[in-house]
Amino acid sequence: MATAAKSREALLANYETVIGLEVHVQLLTNTKIFCGCPNVFGSDPNTNVCPVCLGMPGALPVLNEKAVEYAVKASQALNLRVNERSIFARKNYFYPDLPKGYQISQFDRPLAEHGYIDVPAADGGKKRIGITRLHLEEDAGKSMHDGFVDSASKTYVDLNRTGTPLAEIVSEPDLSSPDEAYEYLTRLKEIILYTGVSDCNMEEGSLRCDANVSIRPRGQKELGTKVEIKNVNSFRFVRQALEYEIQRQAEVLDSGGTIVQETRLYNPSEGRTYSMRTKERAHDYRYFPEPDLLPLIVDATRQEAIRSTLPELPEAKRQRLIAEYGLSDGDAATLTATQSRAALFESEAGKAKSPKRLANLVLSELQGRLKAAGLEFEDSPITMAGARMSADLLEEGAISSKILKELYDHAFEQKLDFPAIYEKEKPQQISDTGEIEKMIDEVLAASPKQVEQYKAGKTTMIGFFVGQVMKASRGKANPALVNQLLTKKLG
Ligand SMILES: [Zn+2]
């Protein structure tokens, strides 16, 4: 393994990678982009269709204003400049799942241009990835190659998806590693989810990604021949496909071969890409302006009205949490991974005796146990409200951290929230002053050196004594009482 890794490194050392990503996001409108058919997933095949989305002669498209609003909102969240005037165009090609013989898309005048997403860079800083454009278009139908008794000889077509509103988001070729591509996609999805314009469900195809990748010898100015990897259905697989593809291209070039411009498919179970079709010539889609639709006008007033509905976006929220709760970048990212998680945390933090203690508990004790159990926050037996109760008890000194850990263990074993497990197994805490004083005397007698240091002015030693007494009580002494009695005894 070590030699394989080393040879991969040596192989790639001479090359530079250039990656660009195209992401299609289905917009969560109630109806399709150019007709009134329901925009829902999972209906019986060919039930959500009408003359418009079936491409019947004479049927005319009517633009769904909600789709425009959502696409503008996504553009603003991705720092794109929205054009006041954009044009719909026909993209002509023949395919069984495209009944009109063309797709209504946008070509030379897209809805929005010149955006960016900042991603974490390998050096620990941030790298800005440009977004070339976001345009509106309609989705095609779906060819179904499997699942029928006669699938060996026939393909079926389901046109429910035809006319689903899509935002296509095209990045600049600014990405220089599979890891950066993964980060870009993760952040893009997070931002879109925060805006609420798509559910970004990759299993249902609400978010789809194509990657263009090429390599060139370091120092060479012109780009290498690019290969397109299509329809990869998870971000992890996109990263794996890119890693495989970069190595494949380096091996071809090293052995004196040339890269063929082509489209490839990734097979996750084999961990490799396969050639799907070669592109000897660029596609000629014979774009022309859609004669049945007026230019799309989104003036400054409308843009501002839409902007005012944008929520606080993940990056801004992270920076605020870092400032308010003293969190690390990584911890803030964990708490803001979904909007609902961040909202739950903030609502409980607002009620907690110590919001910082709550944050620390959630990120250490709770997250550690979730990780070990392979669970997400959303599946945790201990809810955010339960975590807040435990943080408050700890803050008041009503339970020790040792007991808290035990209660968390029990909560996970019995799948109970913290209030329930606390009620059930309420720790028998020692609050008897005499009993605690006895333990304190024993601890002080056994640590003369530390007592001397404390009396010489090193008052931070108090933590050591508290720890020793808690240990002697097997975590059951009331920590607040221990602290109080110790301070008194040490004068
Ligand atoms: Zn329709």
Task: State pLDDT tens for residues 1-55.
Answer: 444 555 778 888 889 999 999 999 999 999 999 999 999 999 999 999 999 999 9
| Alpha carbon of 61 to ligand 1 centroid (Å) | 9
| Alpha carbon of 53 to ligand 1 centroid (Å) | 4
Phi-psi category of 374—alpha, beta or left, where left has phi over 0 and alpha has psi -120 to 50? left
| Alpha carbon of 294 to ligand 1 centroid (Å) | 19
DSSP type of residue 43: P
Q: Which of 372, 427, 363, 371 is nearest to 399 (CA)?
A: 427
| Alpha carbon of 30 to ligand 1 centroid (Å) | 12
| Alpha carbon of 232 to ligand 1 centroid (Å) | 28
Tokens of residue 181, six digits: 């591509």
| Alpha carbon of 406 to ligand 1 centroid (Å) | 58
* Whole-angstrom distance, CA of residue 38 vs CA of residue 46: 12
| Alpha carbon of 47 to ligand 1 centroid (Å) | 10
* Whole-angstrom distance, CA of residue 115 vs CA of residue 80: 4
Q: What is the pLDDT of residue 5?
A: 52
**pLDDT, mean over the chain:** 91
Residue 359 above 60 pLDDT? yes
Band the pLDDT of 434: cuts 50, 70, 90.
confident
Task: State pLDDT tens for residues 288-297.
Answer: 999 999 999 9
- Average of per-residue pLDDT across 56-73: 96
Q: What is the pLDDT of residue 4?
A: 53
Instruction: Count CB-CB contacts under 10 A for residue 338.
Output: 16
Residue 426 above 80 pLDDT? no
Task: State pLDDT tens for residues 435-454.
Answer: 888 989 999 999 999 999 99
Residue 66 above 70 pLDDT? yes
Q: What is the pTM of this model?
A: 0.80
| Alpha carbon of 292 to ligand 1 centroid (Å) | 16
Residue 92 above 60 pLDDT? yes
Task: State pLDDT tens for residues 134-169.
Answer: 999 999 999 998 888 998 999 999 999 999 999 999
Q: What is the pLDDT of residue 461?
A: 85
Residue 430 above 80 pLDDT? no
**Contacts with 101 (C-beta within 8 Å, 6 or more apart), sequence order:** 55, 92, 93, 94
| Alpha carbon of 147 to ligand 1 centroid (Å) | 26
